[in-house]
Chains A and B, each alone.
Chain A
Amino acid sequence: GENVEQHPSTLSVQEGDSAVIKCTYSDSASNYFPWYKQELGKGPQLIIDIRSNVGEKKDQRIAVTLNKTAKHFSLHITETQPEDSAVYFCAASKGGSYIPTFGRGTSLIVHP
């Protein structure tokens, strides 16, 4: 089955810096890669996703890049703010699968 590895497990940055979280996947058939943000005491919530027919997608301060050849994808957050502090999960899935496979999560801490 699919295996998704996520790094780093913890990321500490100063407000205004950029943050990058990286994930690799094992199944070359995977073609959908969402990112979820989990704020303290809440369930994860989708923030951005990318499909295998595109290499990059942006939404204001967040962007996701995908390298299908290397089987890795990354989340980029620019101009970080304290409210970006949360746990971020990447995931991967493919057609015919029922449930996406999640990475282990990255705890992002943005210091004011």
Chain B
Amino acid sequence: NAGVTQTPKFQVLKTGQSMTLQCAQDMNHEYMSWYRQDPGMGLRLIHYSVGAGITDQGEVPNGYNVSRSTTEDFPLRLLSAAPSQTSVYFCASSYGTSRDTQYFGPGTRLTVL
């Protein structure tokens, strides 16, 4: 198993540009989530999904969209990038509940100029 994969590893955007961060898992996990990690702020939940076709907002959803058309994929879209979205983004998946192990991807480092 590849586990949780994320692409790209690094990305530089200009303010106002849009892009999609890709996340895929091959463990047949129902739950998937996106976090952003900023210095001193820990892991903040952006959006999560409890199954294909079901998504919900986390703590910091503004400026981000998600969709879950398949069990395997959970892309994160930035509609109009802002410097405040400069961060490291992690995708995670788990089997079924919040009491199952979260498997994290390697992260995407995004810089918005």
Question: Which of A41, A98, A104 counts the most chain B CB atoms within 10 A?
Answer: A98
> Does the CB pair A42–B42 fall under 8 Å?
no
Q: Which of A66-112 contact B (CB under 8 A)?
A: 89, 93-95, 97-100, 102-105
Interface stretch (choices A12-20, A43-51, A55-63): A43-51
Which residue of A43, A46, A98 contacts B98 across the interface (Cβ within 8 Å)?
A98
Residues of A within 8 A of B104 (CB): 36, 43-45
Cβ of B11 within 8 Å of any chain A Cβ, yes or no, is no
Bin chain A's interface residue count: 20 to 34
Q: Is A98 within 8 A of B50, CB to CB?
A: yes
Contact B43 A99 (CB under 8 A): no
Asked whether A102 lies within 8 Å of B4 as measured between CB atoms, the reply is no
Interface residue ranges of B66-91 to A (CB < 8 Å): 90
- A34–B43 alpha-carbon span in the complex (Å): 14
The smallest C-beta distance from A98 to any residue of chain B, in angstroms, reads 6
**Complex contacts, B42 vs chain A, CB 8 Å:** 6, 89, 102-105
B101 within 8 A of A: yes
Q: How far is the CB of B103 from chain A (nearest CB, A)?
A: 8
Q: CB-CB < 8 A to A49: which residues of B? A: 101
The answer to whether A42 and B45 touch across the interface, beta carbons within 8 angstroms, is no
Given A43-B4, A46-B102, A104-B42, 5 other A-B contacts at CB below 8 A? A34-B102, A36-B102, A42-B106, A43-B104, A43-B107
Q: Which residues of B contact A (CB under 8 A)?
A: 4, 31, 33, 40-43, 45, 48, 50, 56, 58, 90, 92, 97-99, 101-102, 104-107
